[in-house]
Amino acid sequence: MRHVALGDTFDFKLTTRRFSTGAPYSLAGSPALVAYPDTSTVETAGGITLGTDHDGRTGFNTVRVVATVGNGYAAGYWAFMISSGTVDGVSVVGETVYEVMIGATLDGIQATLDRSTVVGVVTSGGSVTSVPTSSLTPAASVTDQFKGRVILFDRNTTTAALRGQGAPISGSSSGGTISIDPANQLTTAPVSGDTFTIV
């Protein structure tokens, strides 16, 4: 599946065919496309330009999409379908003609990670199931703020046995202590000065 960044302009082609023969045939009847994100029932027609019989080629259609927030797009999976149109007098409404992932480029993924990761420094008193912290950015403010996420120790953290090690977070305190799922506990207790990221 194609991946594009949110805000990109991209093109794709589609061929429409006569049902009786399978030969390329013109898309008619005021044809138009819409796009649906994921399993949503809310469509957008924004930024979609459809050209039929491109370059005089019967049944060869071009589509240009300007995938901006202003046109109704967001990061995620999108399916494009025919919302109006006929081929040889037969309705083709509902035909899915293209699928794309928007905002799933490496740059987009990195930007999402940069906005959502938490970095921290361990203080004394740690164990294989508890990581007390001297620093968290952003700071913990409520109980279980980081529950369900994963703690990953930095590759150059103080404790060599923890470098690159990760574990699921089962809870966290408003004071910044991270609780590790006992079934997936750390192999070694962290010490003051160990550094990590929560993803």
**Tens-digit pLDDT profile for residues 140-170:** 999 999 999 999 999 999 999 999 999 999 9
Structure token pair of residue 37: 């994100």
Structure token pair of residue 4: 């594009």
Confidence of residue 188 (pLDDT cuts 50, 70, 90): very high
**110, 145, 163 — which closes off a domain?**
110
* Region 64-74 average pLDDT: 95
Domain of 18, CATH number, reads 2.60.40
Is residue 182 located within the same domain as residue 88? Answer: no
pLDDT at 197 over 60: yes
Is residue 53 located within the same domain as residue 145? Answer: no
Q: Which domain holds residue 52?
A: 2-110
* Region 77-95 average pLDDT: 97
Confidence of residue 5 (pLDDT cuts 50, 70, 90): confident
Is residue 95 located within the same domain as residue 131? Answer: no
Confidence of residue 107 (pLDDT cuts 50, 70, 90): low
Structure token pair of residue 14: 């589609």
Is residue 63 located within the same domain as residue 139? Answer: no
Residue 114 burial (CB < 10 Å; 0-12/13-18/19+)? exposed
β-pairing, 2-4 vs 96-102, is parallel
- Looking at the structure of the chain, the number of domains it has is 2
- The pLDDT of residue 120: 95
Is residue 16 located within the same domain as residue 102? Answer: yes
- The pLDDT of residue 177: 97
Which residues, 6 or more positions from 186, have their beta carbon under 8 angstroms from its beta carbon?
128, 129, 162, 165, 167, 180
- The pLDDT of residue 112: 63
Q: Where are the alpha helices (DSSP H) in the chain?
A: 106-116
CB 62 within 8 A of CB 54: yes
pLDDT at 97 over 60: yes
Is residue 101 located within the same domain as residue 190? Answer: no
Is residue 50 located within the same domain as residue 89? Answer: yes
* Region 18-45 average pLDDT: 96
**110, 132, 149 — which closes off a domain?**
110
Which residues, 6 or more positions from 130, have their beta carbon under 8 angstroms from its beta carbon?
177, 178, 179, 180
Confidence of residue 6 (pLDDT cuts 50, 70, 90): confident
pLDDT at 105 over 90: no
Shortest CA distance to 131 belongs to which of 79, 92, 166, 96?
166
Confidence of residue 135 (pLDDT cuts 50, 70, 90): very high
Which residues, 6 or more positions from 79, have their beta carbon under 8 angstroms from its beta carbon?
35, 36, 96, 98, 99
**110, 128, 162 — which closes off a domain?**
110
Torsion angle (degrees, nearest 10) of CA 83, 86, 90, 96: -40
